[in-house]
A and B are shown apart, each in its own frame.
Chain A
Amino acid sequence: MRASAAAVAVQPLRPGPATSAASAGNVRISNGLQQFLEMLADVPRARVLDLGSVWQSTISFFVDKGYRISTEDVLRGWKEFLTSEDDRQRAIPSGADSGKLAPQLLMANFLQDALGYPEQNFHGILVWDLLDYFDADLVPPLMERLFQVLHPGGALLALFHSRPVERFHRYRIVDSQTVESLAAPTIAVHAHVFQNREILDLFGKFRSSKTFVGRDQLREALFLR
């Protein structure tokens, strides 16, 4: 099948932040996104992995560029995975070996399924602020898997809150330097505020990093493999 970026005619977007009173004030200029996209600019038909929820505007943004966009709502997937594991446990008759797995092993099983992409497959990964919502001891295996599926030279963009957040937000791309955050039903509580040193340790295998801190104290971190 011949893919043609020139022939793409994506549906018009739904009304964006400029016309949405509900989302006014949730739009932020993102230097991290801007530089993330610059890293992909010279890659024809780049492959991008979005670990947040699927949004029309984000999909259209990348499709318009001729990129291939994969979505994997990893936090929601993790919660559903845990729920199914709980269901499996409850179905085991009392007295029988429950076979209950340690969280780290559960995470390993989850990653094998949810991020079972070929290694070095993606040129860019959008993590958003999701690492803040995983237990700190479960983040390293997740990071290891993300490192594996990122192509050498590829970029990863993550956001980190500088203080605990009360509301759960989702993020979507508005344009090449603008991100919109949207309040969403809480599917996980904010678990951890990473300090700068912790962040650098997490991304220790990456060869370079750049961090931006906005006035809202949301840190944007761009890492390159």
Chain B
Amino acid sequence: MWNNSVQSRPSSKADARLAAPLPSHSAMPSASEPASSPAPAAPSSATEPARAPSGAAESAIASNLKIAGEISGNSDLYIDGEVRGKVRMAGARVTVGAKGRIHADMEARELVIHGYVEGSLLATESLHLGASSHVLGTVLTPRIRIDDGAFLRGTVETITPGATSKPVAAIPKTPAIVPVVVAVGNEHEEIIP
């Protein structure tokens, strides 16, 4: 399935494509995006996803493709289609394009999300949620970058860089609890000068 469904391409072409502005995710408008940008435009080096100098070819799943099952490997991967199952690319960078729709747990060295993802995400180096991203799930990563307008419904937890454990699917039900000592009155109103 994997060999039949993905297209390999030189990383330089992928670089050129990714450098172009990505369209908004049509299925999930980012309603939370501020009307006016609260921060000045960052330099391009800060807004564009960093590219790993792997030199390896990048595979791509085009927007007209649907894959069900497990995807694994070590080359960088660009997904603009629909994937259901698992994505395990432990040593690679995986980018979900604005048209990408993922219903899968994902594991990669670096994850860049511009589309829709539902599942647990493990990025052993970094994770970037673009402005058009719509993510439902648990995020584990040592570094995270979130662009204004991104949608995340889930939990962010940090890990040691390089950790390769599987993502956790849910928040533990029996957390270690340390009681908080409360020392305030029952009602109190204070005017800030």
Contact = CB atoms under 8 A, between A and B. Distances in A.
Interface string A190-214: 0000001000100000011111111
A14 B188 contact: no
27 contacts: A2-B159, A2-B163, A3-B157, A10-B144, A14-B39, A14-B148, A16-B39, A22-B38, A23-B39, A43-B180, A45-B176, A47-B175, A56-B145, A63-B144, A151-B177, A153-B181, A154-B180, A170-B34, A184-B32, A185-B33, A185-B34, A207-B186, A212-B190, A212-B192, A213-B192, A224-B182, A224-B184
B123 to A, nearest CB: 12
A21 interface: yes
A79 B31 CA distance: 10
A127 to B, nearest CB: 16
A169 B177 CA distance: 34
A60 B147 CA distance: 12
Contacts of B185: 208, 210
Interface of B is mostly: loop
Given A170-B32, A183-B34, A1 B153 contact: no
Contacts of A15: 39-40, 42
A1 B159 contact: yes
A7 B165 CA distance: 16
Nearest to B157: A68
A64 B181 CA distance: 23
A53 to B, nearest CB: 4
A136 interface: no
Nearest to A172: B38
Interface in B156-192: 156-161, 163, 165-166, 168, 171-173, 175-182, 184-192
A21 B40 contact: yes
Contacts of B186: 207-209
Contact of B165 (A1, A16, A63, A114): A1
Interface in B128-158: 129, 140, 142-148, 150-158
B37 interface: yes
Given A1-B163, A71-B154, A211-B190, A187 B31 contact: yes
B106 to A, nearest CB: 15
A70 B35 CA distance: 24
Contact of B36 (A60, A120, A183, A224): A183
A163 to B, nearest CB: 17
A9 B168 contact: no
A222 B180 CA distance: 14
Contact of A53 (B32, B140, B145): B32
A155 B163 CA distance: 32
A212 B191 CA distance: 6
A193 B32 CA distance: 23
In the complex, the 3 A-B pairs of residues with the closest C-beta atoms, listed nearest first: A1-B165, A153-B180, A53-B32
A94 interface: no
A147 B152 CA distance: 23
Nearest to A124: B180
B11 interface: no
Contact of A70 (B129, B168, B171): B171
Contacts of B42: 14-15
Contacts of B182: 39, 153, 207-208, 224
A23 B34 CA distance: 11
A123 interface: yes
Which of B155, B163, B168, B187 has the most chain A CB within a 10 Å cutoff?
Answer: B155
A90 interface: no
Interface string B26-51: 00000111111111101000100000
